[in-house]
Structures are given as C-alpha cells and as structure tokens.
Amino acid sequence: MASLTLRKKGKDLFKKDDDYTTSKYIWNMLDGIIDKEKIIYDPFYNKGETKIYLAELGYKNIIHNKEDFYINHHKYKFDIILTNPPYSNKKKVFNELKKIDKPFIIIVPVSTITKQFIRKTFLDKLQMIIPPKRMQFEKNGVNNNRCWFDCVFLAYKINLPKSITFL
C-alpha cells in the first residue's frame, strides 16, 4: 500500500515536472548545429517561450503553438523538430517521432538512451550532444537550479560528425 501511494505521488510529481521551460542558454548551445533559416517546430507547449527565445537567438522560422502535438503535427511543414518534451510519457513521444520520421533534436534525461522504446524505434540511429554542465530549466520565469538529473540532446538525421558530441 505504501509503495502504491509513493508511486502515485511519483506520478503526480512527474506531471508537475512536465511544465518546465527550456532556458535560452540551453537553446544557444545548439548555435552552429542548426541552420537558422530552417523551419523549426517545437510541438510541446508550456507558455510559449521557445518561440521567443529562438527568435532572440536569430532563428527565422519557428512553429510553436498551444495545441495538442499528436493531433496537430500533421498540418505543418517543417525541417526539424526541436523540443523538450513532457518526460511523463517519453515512450509515446518517441513512437510518434518515429512515425513522423523527420530530423529532430530533443532534450531528454540521459537515462532515456537505455530504454526499450529507444531500441524499438531509433536503435543505432541517434547521436548525442552532451552539454558542458547540467541543464537547468525555468519554472514560472525563474531558473531555480533544482534539476536533479542530467539531460542531453538526442539527435536524429542531423548528420553530426560524431556519435557523441561534447560541447
């Protein structure tokens, strides 16, 4: 019973964790990796900051709208999906990315790479970009340095020169 309660608590916590925003300095780590003229699509919406931050960093074409990714992605033409998805259901995210089969760079906890759903979808097809230090995200406009796990960028069809890029 106790473990059931904990699991339920854990689930709720993950849901809350979904509402973090990727800080501008994190997107800036990809400077020189993504062509700023490309059409970038961040389908996972918190408060809309991706559009603001990427525009401030010089990206010209950004799609980032408040709507359900799974229902709406079909209506867009884009070059790259660039996103930090909800971590509460990564399997669903990767299954959908597999169906879409377009280039992506996605921010996920580093442990994601060992999951069975990655084997089933993107085995041997991903490259990894490792940040110089632990990524910290924003909550309600504040970067509170409280992220307790390490995140990386996983890249698909980006053709980076190395399997693992250390920034």
Ligand X SMILES: C[S@@+](CC[C@H](N)C(=O)[O-])C[C@H]1O[C@@H](n2cnc3c(N)ncnc32)[C@H](O)[C@@H]1O
The answer to whether 46 and 86 are in contact (CB under 8 A) is: no
21 versus 121: smaller Cβ distance to ligand X: 21
Output the CA torsion sign for 135, 130, 111, 62. positive
117 contacts 93 by C-beta, under 8 angstroms: no
Residue 92, judged by CB atoms within 10 A of its CB (0-12, 13-18, 19+), counts as: middle
Closest to ligand X by CB, 119 or 146: 146
- Minimal distance, residue 50 CB to ligand X, in Å: 5
Which residues bind to ligand X, rule: CB under 6 A?
A: 18-22, 42-46, 49-50, 68-70, 83-86
- Rounded to a whole number of angstroms, the minimum distance from the CB of residue 31 to ligand X is 16
Return the number of the residue (119 or 150) whose C-beta is nearest ligand X: 150
Q: Taking the complex as a whole, how short is the minimal distance between the CB of residue 44 and ligand X, in angstroms?
A: 3
Minimum CB–partner distance for residue 89 and ligand X (Å):
8
How far is CA 79 from its chain centroid? 16
